[in-house]
Chain A
Amino acid sequence: MNAIRDLGWAAVRFVADLGRLTRFGAQIGRAALSPRVRARLFVDELFKLGVLSLVIICVCGLAVGMVLSLQGYTTLVRFGAEQSLGAVVGLSLIRELGPVLTALLATGRAGSATTAEIGTMVATEQLDALRMMSVDPIDLVATPRALAMTAAMPLLSALFIVCGLFGGYLVGVGLMGVDPGSYMSSLRSAVDFRDDVLGSLLKALIFGVLVGLIATYRGHTAVPTSAGVGAATTSTVVVASVSVLIFDYFITALWGV
């Protein structure tokens, strides 16, 4: 019986947490629309979340593209369809791997850093100090970070995909001998702007909102001890990653109709 009761309480706590997260998101939304534009902070966060993630995103994009090309070729060549390699690599990257892997990488790198930063500010009473100075910590600390993550994600995703396409080209054309013209033309004919590219950017945007929201929320609600900050950071990575994958399914299902 105890197990069922505990499960029930866990479910209640989960739903309550979801409610708090939504309210937090609404507060961020309100702060984002307020007349006071914190441009300097937004640009600073865009630097920390976007520019500093560039290397990891581009390297991973290249690697994923190369692997896709390799795997794709060995399978396609069995059916004599290796000239469609460009389409296979391109569609996989644009539709799924680009937005999802970018979001997962960004969660691990930038999301965890954001949670740790904000959690430490809670532990050292900096957020309380802000409140005592009549400054809303959500406006000053959470909103620029959440907005920067939302803006950066589609850009990072696009860069990931382009690097992946290049990596695929390197392996497919350079290594496996696929005709370059066929690679590019099969890529171009298979990819449709509205279904694929636009859907990809939309996914990346939604993932950016998700990761930005979860990372800042977990930071704000961290228990103000070093163990608490650590737990919050881990929670961000886990929750954001799972959410990204679940939302990926729903967006794909709804958009692809």
Chain B
Amino acid sequence: MRHEPCLGSQTDNKEAEPYVGKGAPCARVSPSNAQVEFSGVRMAFGQRVVFRDLSCRFPRGRVSVILGGSGSGKSTLLRLIGGLVRAQAGRIVVDGDEITHRSERQMYAVRRKLGMMFQDGALLDSLTLFDNLAFPLREHTAMTEPEIAAAVREALAAVGLAGIEELLPNQLSGGMVKRASLARAIIMKPVILLCDEPFSGLDPASVRLIETLLVDVNHRLQATMLIVSHHIASTMRIADHVVLLLPDRAVEGSPAELRRTTDRRVAGFLDEDGAPGGARA
């Protein structure tokens, strides 16, 4: 599916190992092409520590995938980027802006550059599909209603949901909800797209469809994509850069590097769900 090497990785070099974060983020993704960067981030919910000292970088314009077991903090990582939760220590830089200590109101400016696809869609359930997609346009742009209608129909067509815009979210199937959520996330042409478990709860055909759409979006919008998933097979297929959250540290690298690693824990994690393209897919 994808053959471009990760920025700065040496796929020719057979000895290249994935980068194991030890307090500093991945050296191979240089600061200049890291669109999102975590440095020494510590995050806890009350007594439960999620990240002790997280450092990683997400390359600009590429598809990055965040893997990890349940409770490893994958979704929390996305929420930290969106400012929905706050870290206790460390630095988080999003597209050049440090957001670690921003107030809620200041975050609104940063969020204009972000688009988020929620696990269960999070569509506004009292609005039709059309109104859901039109919502951000009506709130933040001065587009006229005919212009908005055209943009909405175009977005729906791009995700394969044309013609059903008058339906309510509770009338849509799981796969349709995910596609609608993706359409809404990209309708404002975000610079960074965050996807929380885009493949969860879908049948294999729908999973392939979402994979295709995500790659297509990455190509068309040149948006940086951060995908959180535990669906190893799909994510390894489309990822340029992988961040694996293990209980005590983060492991970064290209999919090829991670597959070739000699670290037992990483290999064990990747093998749990079967080899890429194996039984689970």
Chain A interface residues (CB < 8 Å from chain B): 121, 124-126, 128-136
Contacts and interface: CB of A to CB of B under 8 A. Distances in A.
B231 to A, nearest CB: 20
Nearest to A44: B126
> Closest 10 interchain pairs by CB?
A129-B122, A125-B122, A132-B116, A134-B108, A134-B111, A133-B136, A125-B118, A126-B122, A132-B82, A134-B112
Interface of B: 79, 82-84, 104, 107-109, 111-112, 114-116, 118-120, 122-125, 135-136, 139-140, 188
Contact of B111 (A121, A124, A126, A132): A132
B116 A129 contact: yes
Contacts of A133: 111, 135-136, 139-140, 188
A125 B78 CA distance: 14
B121 to A, nearest CB: 8
B125 A132 contact: no
A134 to B, nearest CB: 4
Contact of A132 (B114, B120, B124, B140): B114
Given A124-B120, A125-B118, A131 B111 contact: yes
Given A125-B122, A129-B122, A133-B188, 15 more contacts: A121-B124, A121-B125, A124-B122, A124-B125, A128-B79, A128-B82, A128-B122, A129-B116, A131-B82, A131-B84, A132-B115, A133-B111, A134-B112, A134-B139, A135-B139
B90 to A, nearest CB: 22
A134 B83 CA distance: 11
A125 B197 CA distance: 14
B155 to A, nearest CB: 14
A133 B140 CA distance: 9
A126 B119 CA distance: 11
Contacts of B112: 134
A206 B125 CA distance: 31
Contacts of B108: 134, 136
Contacts of A125: 118-120, 122
Contact of A129 (B79, B109, B118, B139): B118
A131 B119 CA distance: 16
A132 B140 CA distance: 13
A128 B118 contact: yes
A132 B85 CA distance: 12
Contacts of A132: 82, 84, 111, 114-116
A133 B185 CA distance: 9
B84 A128 contact: yes
A135 B188 CA distance: 14
A128 B112 CA distance: 14
Interface centre among A121, A132, A135 (most CB of B within 10 A): A132
Contacts of B188: 133
A130 B135 CA distance: 10
Contact of B124 (A126, A131, A134, A136): A126
A27 to B, nearest CB: 10
Contacts of A128: 79, 82, 84, 118, 122
Contacts of B136: 133, 135
B124 to A, nearest CB: 6
Contacts of B125: 121, 124, 126
A5 to B, nearest CB: 19
7 contacts: A125-B122, A128-B84, A129-B116, A131-B83, A133-B136, A134-B112, A134-B139
Contacts of B115: 132
A133 B120 CA distance: 16
A125 B109 CA distance: 20
A136 B107 CA distance: 11
A131 B120 CA distance: 16
A132 B184 CA distance: 11
Contacts of B111: 131-134
Interface centre among A121, A125, A126, A129 (most CB of B within 10 A): A129
Contacts of A136: 108
Contacts of B120: 124-125
Contacts of A134: 108-109, 111-112, 139-140
Nearest to B139: A135
A131 B194 CA distance: 14
Nearest to B135: A133
Nearest to B140: A134
A128 B140 CA distance: 17
A114 to B, nearest CB: 13
Contacts of B114: 132
Nearest to A123: B120
A133 to B, nearest CB: 5
